[in-house]
Structure 1
Amino acid sequence: MIQSRVLLNTLLFCLMLGFALLALRTIWRNEKNLAQLKNAEQKALAASEAKSLFLASISHEMRTPLTTILGYTELIKNADILPELESKYLDHTIHSSRHLQSLLGNVLDMSKIEAGHISYNEENLNLRALIIEIEAIFQPLAQKKGLTLSIETTDPIPECLYFDGGKWRQIMLNLLSNAIKFSDSGKVSVFISIEQINDGPFHLKAVVKDQGMGIDKSESDLIFKPFVQTQSGLKKGGTGLGLVLSKEYARHMGGDLSFISSRGTGSEFTVTIQVRQGKNTPAMPEFNKADLSHLHILLVEDQAINRELMRYILCDAGAHIIEAESGSIALDLLHRNPLINALIIDRNMPEPDGLQTMALMRDNGFFLPTLMVSAGLPPSEEDMQRVGLKAWLSKPFQARDLVNSIFRVYHHLNEQAQPAGPISHPLPLFNPAARSLLDFSAERFSSLCQKGLIRIEELLHELTENNFQHNRLIAHTGKGIALQIGAESIAAQLADIENTQGQCKADQISELNILLVNTRMAMQHCHYSSPSDQSVSL
């Protein structure tokens, strides 16, 4: 009996030892597999990080030479020295360069997301202004393809919201760019609304619908995969990152991006993000904006939607806006509106373009504080000096940049016109040194002087004894012209009227008329004016 128990215990011990050894071996294998998995995971993470770093680095490095290529290509284009066919080839080069620039930007953003380095910047923003800006970008593109673009909003829509406007803008740019790219006819519509469910957070919702080629159901799963494209996407070009980035942005902002589509019937993309009610701020994005209530600005821009955006910004700062869609209309308005005392003009317009229009204004005796805006390259120093342009603002610009730029341009000229201290000696009727400041030929400066005096004469007829505000604006305009042509005594008299808030007596007007005649004679003595121009009645 005892021997049987000993044998049984020995057998049980051997079995337990075997199971223990088996368990130890299993644990060892699991630990080994776990170590291999961790090693593989680390290698995968390192590879992913290296890929993201490479993409970020190569995208950034490629931007520098691409910017140079694009810049010099546009310089050649703007020089207007090529025949029509070569100019068309250059347009294709510029278009492709800009497209490549956009693709590189998407690759760089994707690498930032994968590396966890993407940042979100919430701020108080004016939603309606953002919508106008987006429409200004895409309306010309839609018109070029023969498409109808419609952007509608619920009414009322909050003026000020707190969210990352930059990311939302990029989402909308991606969605609208795709809608136009994949549509050859029909309509692209956008509907934007604010929703709140059960007293929860506000959601900004945008629905972008097109009547383009649509997406086959078999390819629906590919839409939000990075670097993967549908068959239609392969035909139209791109990296396959725009929608991926948009979905990531929307999710990080508490929303999502979804779509419904079928082949041949178009697509409908819906994006939502969480927003908060903004602070009770002015209509435009927050900034320490200048007061433009004293400015009567002539706004010259051929695109109606761009004029609407700038008018919105400038009127919000108190400016009085007179609009023109072309240079020729602008010249006519200047002749009919003596109150105009500042100019904002787009460079790239149908002939005459911005620079040509400014040259025509100067030839007609109009010298206004001017801000030029454009999405292209700035004019050369030679061109700026030739037309008297002092300031340039690149598109796209922020609201504060537009307001503060025209404010600085206006007051810089105004400050230049003020004497540094009491005048201890009489100013000359005419200072020939004005020609050297403009770097004009004698013949051209003579023509300028003649036209400038004619314009000053017209302005003097506008002066009255009782309309102070009107007088102040007239005096400022005439002072600027007088300073440009070296009529320093006239400029000083007009500055006095301006500095006394437009108070003007009859004897001052008579004195100005006499100064005008004497200034003409002084210019004739220096061979800068024609005797036949003396048409002022005393």
Structure 2
Amino acid sequence: MLNKKDVEKRDGQRAAAYEYNTLMRLLGASVSKHLMDEHFTLIWANDFYYQLIGWPKDEYEAIFHNRPDLYYQDDQEVWEQLTQTVIAAVGAGQNGYRLVTRMRRKSGDYIWVQFSTQFADEYVDGFQVAYTVITNIDDFMRVQKEQSVTYESLPGVVAKYRIDSEFHIYLLESNTRFIEYFGNEAEREQNALYLRNFSDNIEIIRRQKDSVPRGDQLQFVIHVKNLKGQKLWLQVNATCIDWQNGDPVYLAIFIDITDVTELREMQKRLTDQTIALKEALEAAEKANRAKSDFLSRMSHDIRTPMNAILGMTTIAASHIDDPERITDCLKKISVSSRLLLSLINEVLDMSKIESGRIVLAEEEVNLAELVQGVVTMVQPQIHDKSLVFKSHVDHVTHETVVGDLQRLQQLLLNLLSNAVKYTPSNGGILLEIRETPSGQEGTAQYEFMVTDTGIGMKQEFLERIFEPFERAEDEKIQAIQGTGLGLSICKSIAELMSGDITVDSVYGQGSCFTASVRLRVQEEMIDESVLYGKSVLIVDDDETICQSTCERLESYGIRTKWLTNGKAALDEIGRVHAAGQDYFAVILDYKMPGMNGIETTRKIRESVGYELPVIMISAYDLSEQIDAAKKAGADGFITKPLFCSSLIYKLKQYVAGYVQEPVNQQPVSGSYPGSRILLAEDNELNREIAVELLSSTGVTVDTAENGKKAVDMMKASEEGTYDLIFMDMQMPVMDGCAATVCIRALPRRDAATVPIIAMTASAFADDRQRTKDAGMNGHLAKPVEVNQLQQVLQKWLGKAE
């Protein structure tokens, strides 16, 4: 007999079982209990389990003995999937697993099911127990399959997207061809190809931004790459088929139109190429016309000095007994020769630039000396045309730079020479030099601005002014010689130095050329301590020069004041002298209206005596006025433009007790008796000229007609025989560079120290670099300038006097 308590327990269990079975019947779900053994043995299953598999319980138990491994013996692939899923879940420490797979029923048909298994804390015969719910999802999978088949049957690549209000695009579904082209969805999350295709076409996609929120139909073309690296043109046809949370869902079909598009692209390329060829032909014809015009002008320009040289030679020969006439002829031959040389240099320069073989040298350049040298070269033409020349230096804080001295000279000289050539008599020219930050550490941007009041240029010519061989078609300049290459060379030089050149011009009023270059700066140590607190008076009718000069001097602690005429200067100097507060020095312009510098200096001396230093400045060559200026009482002279270092150097000369650093101002001597030179030159006439020029300085000259002969003569001589070697670059048998390398390698002490100077008609930066790499000490360009030759001799033989 059961007691009351046992009855209540039994009734409770029956009620729970009834409730459970009722719930399972309502859900229609298969529930089973298994051991986690090697067979996954079935312990118990509800009726729906057997209904699901189509086997009655007794038949199932009789045939398969409650062993699922036997049930799946003809479906090993499915059984392997199931067991691997279980093993993976246990190994990962999970409390169960889910698996969607196929299951074979008794009829032989397969249905799609979902296993939802939970591992229990219960053990039977030492094996853990698992409870499994098997859900029939065959209808759902068939719908998916049907939809997939529909997607696959559509032509082209198919995908479904949701696009939110922020225009973010989410891929929902796609067909097999889409995956074959671009990879599956999991891969695309980190797929560089997918991201690149998307970013490459982002602008095209964003053009649809207004249509998408309305669900409008879309059509556009994109250019993509597939997984095989093929480039495809795809036409996108997209239709809104649904809405999710207010966002449109688009079904997009991508149709491959690569062949058609590539045909169009090919046609477009052919059209473009035809246009390009036509333009190239027109450009070539234009270039040929320009070169023909250039050759015509060059024929005239070259024949003009050549005619003068030949004519003057004939005249000199016919007046051999008339020294004055011969001297006049030689002077004109010299002028014509220089003109001819400048024409040849410009043509060679342009050839070098066009072939891309121009190389910039890197050497220390003092801008004050550079500008002064160029200004000195153009002074005679400025004087001959009575031009008013002014120059300004604006905020140049680094006067020593690293650059190509020859090219910088060429750039500035071309601009100034052009200004002089095209400015009528009594006109004006202004040179301005400015330093500005370059934005790159260790460098600065320098601007050289040349403004003139010349004839100017028409607007249509300004568009091609920097092109080679171009000259304005203007009768005003027909008589002016030129190749049309100078400005093209200037532009190339500026661009090689990370700069540019621009022009502003008004026809009949003048022009302004601005060349900018970027140069590496050298930090300079200017010792101005002895001038600190001293006062200087600047007198110049150019207010810009006065202001900029005062600003720079004051930055060094020098007190300044400026005035614009001689009368005001006299009054100021008299006033401070009466007060016992004399200026330390006066910087006085030579050319001023009313009372010029010389007259002002004379009156200063009459007023306050000779203790006040007067430094005279001028934009012109003062050589003809130096005697008159000294006689009036001037103490020193400086040529404009006024660089601060030059002013500081000059002012320090007048500080009592200050010992100026020695400066080598020894004049070039023309006599070097006792010195011996080896000259290697293959051209007999050039050799004769060089021997004559060198012999006139008192040296002994030995000659060699090629590099090998020079090396042999060096080997055969005693150590110290030769004080200097001049080596031509281009010679038969052995050229100058090879010969220098051989000489430097000789096993004797003087081989490494004897100065070797290149003499060559190739005067470009890369040629100079070749000679330096070979071991040469210097470079002398042909035709040899006597002054340059004397400077070389002075440098290397000066101690031998």
**TM-score w.r.t. length of structure 1:** 0.45
The higher relative CO (CA closer than 8 Å, separation ≥ 6) is in 1
Normalized per residue, the structure richer in helix is: 1
Bigger radius of gyration, 1 or 2?
A: 2
Normalized per residue, the structure richer in strand is: 2
